[in-house]
């Protein structure tokens, strides 16, 4: 592995070296908690909810073929009334779609907020945060063909049961008939960048996962970056502000969705890289981790 200092010299960012006696971000601040598939039973997560409200937010751009299935996988089993009561609201943010995404989402049981013009994933997530009524937000991608009720239960588990500040799903990603090979931006850009610039986050298996959960106060504290860099930025920002030990990841099994061409993936990779480099350039000796309302870490 290239040393942090060398990497910083090559890409023009300040090396992330701790001052004498002051730990760099992530050192001595805990490790990312990792949970296996099925670790959180529905009954346990429901009991831990304790009056808090949950919004499942689904950013969507021209996903009429799949968004209804994602909504139904949440609303039928979990949305009150009629479901388990784990979810209080399903919100789809239609990000400037020209197809029937909004109609498909509404028909499946979601409340729909619409952008007249596309604002990108970060903009759609920010609208979701603004519009959502929940104390806790779960984000799901609208293009996943095999979204299951367990996705929501698993993502909420570390937040409601173990006080995690940010939860990322991880999963196998098929490609072209093979059981693995998907997630090319993740494997060729996001994870190598973290390994070099933010090695304390190298164990995060799907840093760009759209399946994520966090308390509202965390999202409001750190903010949501624009565009495709939002997932990378959120991961780094939460670790920086609240400590690596505030992060969790949970196994969601296998994720099946439309695989994009390299030409389509390149702009995403650029935005992911830009988000990481901006944060590496700004990084210096980190203060002690902050806590949320009524929390100490």
Label each residue of 236-263 as H, E or C. Answer: HHHHHHHCHHHEEEEEEEECCECCCCHH
295 in a domain, yes or no? no
pLDDT tens digit sequence for 199-233: 999 999 999 999 999 999 999 999 999 999 999 99
253 assigned to some structural domain? yes
pLDDT band at residue 27, thresholds of 50, 70 and 90? very low
- pLDDT for position 8: 34
126-144 residue pLDDT tens: 999 999 999 999 999 999 9
What's the pLDDT score for residue 292? Answer: 61
Of 150, 136, 90, 121, nearest to 208 by C-alpha is 121
Torsion angle, CA of 267/211/61/107, rounded to 10 degrees?
A: 170
Q: Choose the weakest-confidence range: 59-63, 157-161, 259-263.
A: 259-263
Domain assignment of residue 235, given as a range: 28-282
DSSP three-state, residue 1: coil
Q: What is the pLDDT of residue 255?
A: 81
Spatial CA neighbour of 280 closest among 157, 155, 196: 196
Residue 118 has pLDDT above 70, yes or no: yes
Q: Is residue 264 part of a domain?
A: yes
Q: Are 27 and 200 in contact (CB under 8 A)?
A: yes
Q: Let me know if residue 9 belongs to a domain.
A: no
Q: What is the pLDDT of residue 57?
A: 98
Q: Is residue 179 part of a domain?
A: yes
Query: Coil, helix or strand for 230?
Result: helix
Residue 182 inside a domain? The answer is: yes
Average pLDDT over residues 101-110: 98
Q: Could you say which DSSP state residue 165 is in?
A: S
Residue 128 lies in a domain: yes
Question: How many separate domains does the chain show?
Answer: 1
Question: Does any domain span residue 146?
Answer: yes
Residue 94 and residue 58: Cα distance in Å, rounded?
A: 9
Mean pLDDT of the chain: 85
Whichever domain contains 215, its CATH number is 3.90.550.10
For 222-270, how does the pLDDT look when each residue is reduced to its tens digit (9 = 90+)?
999 999 999 999 999 999 999 999 999 999 998 885 656 657 668 889 9
């Amino acid at each position: 592995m290239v040393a942090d200092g060398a990497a910083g010299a090559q890409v023009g960012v300040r090396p992330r070296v701790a001052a004498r006696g002051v730990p760099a971000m992530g050192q001595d601040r805990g490790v990312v908690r990792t949970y296996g598939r099925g670790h959180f039973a529905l009954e346990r997560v429901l009991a831990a909810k304790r009056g808090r409200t949950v919004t499942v937010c689904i950013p969507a751009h021209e996903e009429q073929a799949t968004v209804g299935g994602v909504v139904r996988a949440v609303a039928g089993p979990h949305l009150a009334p009629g479901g388990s009561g784990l979810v209080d609201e399903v919100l789809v943010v239609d990000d400037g779609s020209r197809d029937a995404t909004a109609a498909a989402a509404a028909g499946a049981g979601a409340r729909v907020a619409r952008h007249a013009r596309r604002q990108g994933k970060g903009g759609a997530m920010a609208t979701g945060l603004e519009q959502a009524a929940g104390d806790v937000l779960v984000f799901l991608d609208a293009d996943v063909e095999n979204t299951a009720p367990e996705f929501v239960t698993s993502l909420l588990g570390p937040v409601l049961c173990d006080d995690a500040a940010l939860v990322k799903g991880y999963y196998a990603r098929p490609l072209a008939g093979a059981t693995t090979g998907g997630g090319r931006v993740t494997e060729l850009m996001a994870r190598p960048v973290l390994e070099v610039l933010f090695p304390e986050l190298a164990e995060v298996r799907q840093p760009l996962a759209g399946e994520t959960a966090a308390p509202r106060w965390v999202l409001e504290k750190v903010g949501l970056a624009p565009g495709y860099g939002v997932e990378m930025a959120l991961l780094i920002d939460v670790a920086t502000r609240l400590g690596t030990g505030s992060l969790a990841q949970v196994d969601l099994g296998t994720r099946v969705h439309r695989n994009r061409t390299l030409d389509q993936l390149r702009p995403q990779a650029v935005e992911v890289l830009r988000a990481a480099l901006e944060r590496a350039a700004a990084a210096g000796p980190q203060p002690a981790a902050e806590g949320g309302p009524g929390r100490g870490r």
